[in-house]
Amino acid sequence: MKRRFLLTFFGVALYASCLMAQQKAVTGKVVSSNGEVLSNVTVLVKGTDRMVQTNADGTFSIQAAPGETLVFRMIGSDERNQVVGAGNVYNITLQSSDEAIDEVVVTAMGIKQQARSLGYSAQNVSSKELTESNQPNLVNTLQGKVAGVQVTNSGGSPGTSASIYIRGGSSLSGNNQPLFVVDGIPIDNSTPISQGGLTAGLAPASNRAIDINPEDIASISVLKGPAASALYGLRAASGAVIITTKRGNSGKGSISYGNTFSWDKANKLPELQGVFKQGRNGIFENESYLSWGPEFASNEVIYDNLGGFFKTGFAQNHDLSASGGSERSTFYVSGNLMEQGGIAKNNDFSRRSFRLNADHKIFDNLKIGANMTYMNTGRTYFPQGSENGVMGAIYWPRNVQMTDFLNEDGTQKTLSENGENAIDNPYWTINKKPITNRVNRVIAMGDVNYNPYEWLTLTYRLGTDYYGENFQSITAPTSQTGLTGYMTESKANNQLTTSTFLANAKQSVSDFNFDFTVGHNIETIFRETNTATARNFIDPDFASINNALAEDRTVSTSISRRRIVGVFGDFTADWKNIIYLNLKGRNDWTSTLRAGQNSFFYPAVSTSIILTDLMKELSGNSSTGFLSYAKLRAAWAQVGKDAPAHKLATTLGTYINDFTINPRGFISNMNDTYGNPNLVPEFTNSLEFGADLKMFNNRIGLDVTWYKTNSDNQILSTRTPPSSGSFLAVLNGGEIENVGWEGILNVQAVKKHDFSWSFDVNFSKNKATVLNLPGFLDRVELSDAWVKGDAAQGAAFLNSTLFGINGKTWKTNDAGQYLLDNNGMPQVVSTLSNIGDRNPDWIGGITNNFQYKNLGLSFMWDVRQGGDVFNATAYTLVLSGLSPLTLDRGTAVIPGIIESTGATNTTAIPLNQDYYTSRFANNGYNFVEDGSWIRLRYVSLSYKAPASFTERLKLSNLQFTLTGRNLLLFTDYSGVDPEVSGSGAGVAGAGSFGFDNLGVPATRGFDLGLKFSF
pLDDT tens-digit readout, 668-695? 666 677 888 989 888 899 999 999 999 9
User: Residue 202: what pLDDT?
Assistant: 81
Band of residue 194 on the pLDDT scale cut at 50, 70, 90:
confident
> Is it the case that residue 696 has pLDDT exceeding 70?
yes
* Mean per-residue pLDDT, 638-657: 79
Give me the residues paired with residue 797 across strands: 779
3-class SS at 112? strand
Helix (H) or strand (E) holding 397, with range, is none
Q: Give the side-chain half-sphere CA count within 13 A for 735.
A: 8
Band of residue 752 on the pLDDT scale cut at 50, 70, 90:
confident
Q: Are 46 and 69 in contact, with CB atoms under 8 Å apart?
A: yes
DSSP string across 555-580: EEEEEEEEEEEEEEEEEEEEETTTEE
> Is it the case that residue 442 has pLDDT exceeding 60?
yes
> Is it the case that residue 296 has pLDDT exceeding 70?
yes
User: Residue 726: what pLDDT?
Assistant: 64
> Is it the case that residue 739 has pLDDT exceeding 50?
yes
Whole-number percent of the chain with pLDDT over 90: 62
Whole-number percent of the chain with pLDDT over 70: 93
**What are the angstrom distances between the C-alpha of 20 and each of 14, 24, 52, 328, 610?**
10, 8, 18, 21, 47
**What are the angstrom distances between the C-alpha of 57 and each of 257, 321, 401, 756?**
11, 11, 54, 21
3-class SS at 547? coil
- Please provide residue 481's backbone torsions phi and psi, each rounded to the nearest 5 degrees: -115, -10
The segment with the largest mean pLDDT, out of 640-649, 788-797, 938-947, is 938-947
Instruction: Give the span between the Cα atoms of 909 and 826, in whole angstroms.
Output: 10
3-class SS at 156? coil
Helix (H) or strand (E) holding 616, with range, is helix 611-619
* Mean per-residue pLDDT, 779-790: 82
> Is it the case that residue 248 has pLDDT exceeding 80?
yes
> Is it the case that residue 148 has pLDDT exceeding 80?
yes
Instruction: Give the span between the Cα atoms of 452 and 432, in whole angstroms.
Output: 65
User: Residue 35: what pLDDT?
Assistant: 65
> Is it the case that residue 269 has pLDDT exceeding 50?
yes
**Residue 129 CB-density burial (10 A; 0-12 exposed, 13-18 middle, 19+ buried):** buried
Instruction: Give the span between the Cα atoms of 389 and 711, in whole angstroms.
Output: 39
Nearest-CA neighbor of 252 among 162, 170, 179, 325?
325
* Mean per-residue pLDDT, 448-455: 93
Tell me the CA end-to-end span of the chain in Å, nearest whole number. 54
* Mean per-residue pLDDT, 119-125: 90
Instruction: Give the span between the Cα atoms of 445 and 439, in whole angstroms.
Output: 20
* Mean per-residue pLDDT, 619-647: 89
Helix (H) or strand (E) holding 973, with range, is none
Instruction: Give the span between the Cα atoms of 907 and 339, in whole angstroms.
Output: 60
**Residue 413 CB-density burial (10 A; 0-12 exposed, 13-18 middle, 19+ buried):** middle
Q: Are 706 and 768 in contact, with CB atoms under 8 Å apart?
A: no
**What are the angstrom distances between the C-alpha of 739 and each of 102, 148, 762, 766, 992?**
29, 11, 17, 6, 21
Band of residue 25 on the pLDDT scale cut at 50, 70, 90:
confident
Q: Dihedral, CA atoms, 106, 112, 113, 115, nearest 10 degrees?
A: 30
How does the average pLDDT of the chain come out, rounded? 89
Residue 940 has a CB neighbour count (10 Å cut-off) of 22
Q: What is the largest CA-CA distance in the chain?
A: 127
Q: Are 276 and 889 in contact, with CB atoms under 8 Å apart?
A: yes
Instruction: Give the span between the Cα atoms of 659 and 844, in whole angstroms.
Output: 57
Q: Are 169 and 739 in contact, with CB atoms under 8 Å apart?
A: no
Give per-residue pLDDT as tens, 614-628. 998 888 887 788 899
Give the amino acid at 246.
K
Residue 570 has a CB neighbour count (10 Å cut-off) of 24
**Residue 678 CB-density burial (10 A; 0-12 exposed, 13-18 middle, 19+ buried):** exposed
- Please provide residue 11's backbone torsions phi and psi, each rounded to the nearest 5 degrees: -65, -45
Give the amino acid at 167.
R
Give per-residue pLDDT as tens, 381-400. 998 888 888 888 888 999 99
Q: Give the side-chain half-sphere CA count within 13 A for 407.
A: 7
Write the CB contacts of 898 (distance below 8 Å, at least 6 apart in sequence).
820, 821, 822, 824, 904, 905
Q: Any idea what DSSP says for residue 413?
A: P
Residue 26 has a CB neighbour count (10 Å cut-off) of 23
Q: How far out from the chain centre does Cα 283 lie?
A: 49
Instruction: Give the span between the Cα atoms of 491 and 489, in whole angstroms.
Output: 7
> Is it the case that residue 369 has pLDDT exceeding 80?
yes
Q: Are 939 and 232 in contact, with CB atoms under 8 Å apart?
A: no
Helix (H) or strand (E) holding 880, with range, is helix 872-880
**What are the angstrom distances between the C-alpha of 620 and each of 99, 608, 616, 617, 624?**
20, 21, 5, 5, 11
Write the CB contacts of 454 (distance below 8 Å, at least 6 apart in sequence).
none
Nearest-CA neighbor of 474 among 404, 548, 423, 545?
545
Give me the residues paired with residue 739 across strands: 708, 767
Q: Are 683 and 640 in contact, with CB atoms under 8 Å apart?
A: yes
> Is it the case that residue 188 has pLDDT exceeding 80?
yes
Q: Where are the alpha helices (DSSP H) in 396-537?
A: 426-432
**Residue 774 CB-density burial (10 A; 0-12 exposed, 13-18 middle, 19+ buried):** middle
User: Residue 46: what pLDDT?
Assistant: 84
Q: Are 897 and 820 in contact, with CB atoms under 8 Å apart?
A: yes
Q: Dihedral, CA atoms, 64, 66, 67, 73, nearest 10 degrees?
A: 40
> Is it the case that residue 665 has pLDDT exceeding 80?
no
User: Residue 20: what pLDDT?
Assistant: 42
- Please provide residue 506's backbone torsions phi and psi, each rounded to the nearest 5 degrees: -130, 135
Q: Are 837 and 232 in contact, with CB atoms under 8 Å apart?
A: no
Nearest-CA neighbor of 903 among 827, 829, 826, 819?
819
How do strand 682-695 and strand 735-751 relate by DSSP bridges? unpaired
Q: Are 224 and 218 in contact, with CB atoms under 8 Å apart?
A: no
Helix (H) or strand (E) holding 645, with range, is none
> Is it the case that residue 204 has pLDDT exceeding 90?
no
User: Residue 7: what pLDDT?
Assistant: 43
Q: Are 109 and 502 in contact, with CB atoms under 8 Å apart?
A: yes
Write the CB contacts of 232 (distance below 8 Å, at least 6 apart in sequence).
108, 109, 179, 181, 186, 240
420-429, 474-483, 737-746, range with the lowest pLDDT: 474-483
Write the CB contacts of 854 (distance below 8 Å, at least 6 apart in sequence).
35, 943, 944, 945, 946
Q: Are 775 and 750 in contact, with CB atoms under 8 Å apart?
A: no
**What are the angstrom distances between the C-alpha of 794 and each of 253, 413, 645, 801, 999?**
54, 36, 24, 11, 17
Instruction: Give the span between the Cα atoms of 64 and 82, in whole angstroms.
Output: 11
Query: 900 or 195: whose pLDDT is higher?
Result: 900
> Is it the case that residue 235 has pLDDT exceeding 50?
yes
Band of residue 271 on the pLDDT scale cut at 50, 70, 90:
very high
Band of residue 812 on the pLDDT scale cut at 50, 70, 90:
very high
> Is it the case that residue 657 has pLDDT exceeding 60?
no
Give me the residues paired with residue 314 across strands: 263
